[in-house]
A and B are shown apart, each in its own frame.
Chain A
Amino acid sequence: MGNKKLKKIFTLGIWKDNPIYRQILGICSALAVTNLMLNSLVMGIGLIFVTSFSELTVSLLRKHTPKHIRMMVQVLIISSFVIIVDIVLKAYYPSMSKALGPYVGLIITNCIIMGRCESYAQNNKPLYAFMDGIASGTGYAIILLVIAFFRELLGFGSLFGYQVLGEWFTKWTIMVMAPGAFFMLGIVIWVARSLLPGTEEESMKGEAIS
């Protein structure tokens, strides 16, 4: 029973209900940090950490939190975890902290975390909420890595900083600039949506009703 529920959480978070191409959440950072795969990986790990622990904490406190101030409590919890990530990066991975710049702090405003806290952690047991955080964070991280793979390969000719394309390759500088991010994100959403025709119709029905 428990296993089945966990499996469902992960297929939803990573594939069927992926935060980026299904819910179109967390787009800002998906555009901003994806010019290098390493940055995307660290950002993804940071988000997995923040989402899972925020959901765990929100879920633990859900029975004691007065309903009308729950948003305030969620923001407080999320920002605390984000500051933890920021401090840890600054102390033990300063070069990455410099590369990600303000985007670590901006995890606070990443809608995925708030969205999952509000829609899932608020109504579910702590363990499941924690797992849901990991699943959603992983879904986000995978898409970031896919986008970064193409942007770094075409824009710099490298992957994770290692040069894979030789001197003959003309770098597509546009791919590491903002427009490249928009193109790649659009293509990823398009491909993912055309691979998921069934659920598309379901969500259309949902929209019609609401």
Chain B
Amino acid sequence: MKKSFSYPIIFMVLITAFFTLVLSLLNYSTKDVIAYNAQIEEWKTLLYIFDIDYQEDDKEIENLYKEKIEAEKVNDITIYKAKENGDTLGYAFPVEGNALWGTVRGYAAVSNDLNTLLGIDFVSHSETPGLGGRISEEWFKEQFRGIDLTENNEGDYIEYRPAASGNVDAITGATLTSKSVKNMLNKDIEEFRQLMKEGLNNGQ
């Protein structure tokens, strides 16, 4: 039909411009909602690791978070302080490490005296669904609540059963993911405790 050289080019430019315009308008109008959703996700994670009960309601989560948790920057990492009636309950900090298929990111929380692990949660991972992916299941994460960090040697806080010092069950069929999660938590908890102890000694 149209044999001219310029027609296809003009046609393509016009149609691309049109769709780009539509998409950027949509993107612009939903930007805030999407950012808010991501924020709520993060707040939910933080409330969860401090074991603060919340209802599945965005407004309530926001209020609860603002009431109880405070973010603070220490040496380039953001740590979160949970307070109750003026007392500090504990600190949360980001954990990260490589597992079987990719990077696992999450948060862990320790008590005010740095001696008890309050809880952990994962924000993102790419482990096999049904196997390594089960690290984000409730039963696995709940095991980490209230682990005494003074019991085992420094840096070996988490140990899987049936080892003598074991305090957590690993996931059947996901040995490598379980191991990576253990190493990542042990390393990051150790680093965080060192950081906080130095901070305390410096009179902070």
Chain A contact residues, CB within 8 Å of chain B? 35, 61, 64-69, 72-73, 76-77, 80, 83-84, 87-88, 90-92, 94, 155, 173, 176-177
Q: Check A69/B23 contact, CB under 8 A, given A91-B33, A91-B34.
A: no
Chain B contact residues, CB within 8 Å of chain A? 1-2, 7-8, 11-12, 15-16, 19, 22-23, 26-27, 30, 33-34, 37-38, 41, 128-131
* Contact count A vs B, C-beta below 8 Å: 56
Residues of B within 8 A of A83 (CB): 23
Which residue of the partner chain B has the closest CB to A79? B19
Partner of B1, one of A66, A87, A94: A66
Counting chain A CB atoms within 10 Å of each CB, the highest count among B1, B15, B34, B41 belongs to: B15
Complex Cα distance, B130 from A159, in Å, reads: 17
B129 and A76 within 8 A (CB): no
Partner of B19, one of A72, A76, A87, A91: A76
A176 and B130 within 8 A (CB): yes
Given contacts A68-B8, A84-B26, 12 further A-B pairs with CB under 8 A are A35-B129, A35-B130, A61-B15, A69-B8, A73-B15, A84-B22, A84-B23, A87-B23, A87-B26, A87-B34, A90-B37, A94-B38
Nearest-neighbour CB distance to chain B for A134, whole angstroms, equals 21
Partner of B130, one of A91, A94, A177: A177
Residues of B within 8 A of A76 (CB): 15-16, 19
B129 and A67 within 8 A (CB): no
Grouping DSSP codes into helix (H, G, I), strand (E, B) and loop, the A interface class, with mixed when no group exceeds half, is helix
Q: Check A64/B37 contact, CB under 8 A, given A77-B19, A80-B23, A177-B130.
A: no
Partner of A66, one of B7, B23, B33, B130: B7
B33 and A67 within 8 A (CB): no
B19 and A80 within 8 A (CB): yes
Complex Cα distance, B131 from A173, in Å, reads: 9
Complex Cα distance, B131 from A177, in Å, reads: 9
B12 and A67 within 8 A (CB): no
Which residue of the partner chain A has the closest CB to B41? A94
Which residue of the partner chain B has the closest CB to A177? B130
Which residue of the partner chain A has the closest CB to B128? A177
Residues of A within 8 A of B12 (CB): 69, 72-73
Nearest-neighbour CB distance to chain B for A63, whole angstroms, equals 8
Residues of A within 8 A of B2 (CB): 66
Q: Check A94/B37 contact, CB under 8 A, given A66-B2, A176-B129, A176-B130.
A: yes
Residues of B within 8 A of A67 (CB): 1
Residues of A within 8 A of B15 (CB): 61, 73, 76
Residues of A within 8 A of B130 (CB): 35, 155, 173, 176-177
Residues of B within 8 A of A92 (CB): 33
Counting chain A CB atoms within 10 Å of each CB, the highest count among B12, B19, B34, B38 belongs to: B19
Which residue of the partner chain B has the closest CB to A65? B11
Residues of B within 8 A of A94 (CB): 34, 37-38, 41
Complex Cα distance, B12 from A76, in Å, reads: 10
Complex Cα distance, B134 from A177, in Å, reads: 13
Residues of B within 8 A of A177 (CB): 128-131
| 3 smallest beta-carbon distances between A and B, as pairs | A91-B30, A80-B19, A94-B37
Partner of A90, one of B11, B22, B30: B30
Complex Cα distance, B137 from A176, in Å, reads: 15
Nearest-neighbour CB distance to chain B for A56, whole angstroms, equals 14
Complex Cα distance, B129 from A91, in Å, reads: 24
Which residue of the partner chain B has the closest CB to A61? B15
Counting chain A CB atoms within 10 Å of each CB, the highest count among B2, B11, B38, B131 belongs to: B11
Which residue of the partner chain A has the closest CB to B131? A177
Which residue of the partner chain B has the closest CB to A156? B130
Complex Cα distance, B28 from A91, in Å, reads: 12
B23 and A90 within 8 A (CB): no
